Amino acid sequence: MILAQAAETQPSSIPTLILFLFLGVVFYLMIIRPQRSRMRKQQELADSLEIGDRVQTVGGIFGAVRRIDEDGVVLDVENGALKFSKRAIASKVNQD
What tens digit of pLDDT does each residue of 67-86 get? 999 889 999 999 899 999 99
pTM: 0.67
- The per-residue pLDDT for 12 is 81
**Which domains are present in the chain?**
2-92 (2.30.30.30)
What tens digit of pLDDT does each residue of 82-93 get? 999 999 999 999
Q: How far apart (Å, rounded) are the C-alpha atoms in residues 66 and 81? A: 8
The pLDDT of 1-27, averaged and rounded, is 79
Closest C-alpha among 94, 93, 87, 95 to residue 44: 87
Percent of the chain at pLDDT > 90 equals: 75
